[in-house]
Amino acid sequence: MTLVSGRLFFVIWFAVALAACSTQDRMPVGSVASSANDRGAPATPSSMATARSRTMAASQAKQQYFIEFRSRYAYTYGHSFVIFGRLDRTGKMIDPQVAGLAPKSNDPTIYMLGHVTPVPASTGWTDGDLEDKYMSANWRVMLSETEYRKVVAKIRKLQASSPLWHAVLYNCNAFVADIARFMGYKTPGIWLKPQQFITKLRQMNGGPNAIGRTRRAA
């Protein structure tokens, strides 16, 4: 009876995890969709909004610090994380740093166990994070040096206090959401696919001038 109950518990938890992350993120086929206006229609801001946008653009051109909320393709439903650092004059990243929550082990058994019970986590770079060909969605935010240092301090604090990963209770999206909320942004539900999570995060906060994109998958 105990064995049957244990198996039933695993099946229930696994079903919940699949419901949360049910569709596999696939590599893109075809063109890249711009996120400047996710609905495809040109934005028509008021004169005040236009002036503000120009001011923001001018300010961003002078700022070198950034944080990028990003998702990438993976063998399962993908992964979300943040990249942060500075940009050179051409917009190229200078020694970018990565923070995200993922199972610490590459063992598939540990990964599957993380859909049932929390497992040890890593909070830094994982394979493919900095390769644009694997990027499925992103949203880049430019920061002043003061803002950047505050955000980095929050990220370091999260990294030090997030030793466990669970596919449903506290996953990669939840880790990214904690950073976004600290910055004052609204966040979508953590049970979306990472690509959908990052896209929704951008749509909820970025407006028509958001710097980012979402790749279409076949």
In a domain, 41, yes or no: no
pLDDT of residue 113: 94
Average of per-residue pLDDT across 153-180: 96
Using CA atoms, how far residue 159 sits from 141, 152, 179, in Å, is 20, 10, 11
Question: What is the C-alpha R_g of the chain?
Answer: 19
Residue whose structure tokens are 């700022």: 63
Helix 194-205 vs helix 172-182: angle between axes, to the nearest 10 degrees?
10
Name the more confident of 83 and 9: 83
Using CA atoms, how far residue 13 sits from 4, 114, 201, in Å, is 14, 10, 27
In a domain, 71, yes or no: yes
Distance between CA atoms of 22 and 76, rounded to whole angstroms?
9
- Given a contact cutoff of 8 angstroms between Cβ atoms, the answer to whether 135 and 71 are in contact is yes
Name the more confident of 215 and 104: 104
Average of per-residue pLDDT across 138-143: 95
Per the structure, the complete domain to which residue 189 belongs is given by 2-36+47-217
In a domain, 42, yes or no: no
Q: Is 138 left (phi over 0), alpha (psi -120 to 50) or beta?
A: beta
In a domain, 16, yes or no: yes
Least confident of 33-42, 69-78, 100-109, 115-124: 33-42
Provide the domain count of the chain: 1
Average of per-residue pLDDT across 51-55: 49
pTM of the model: 0.73
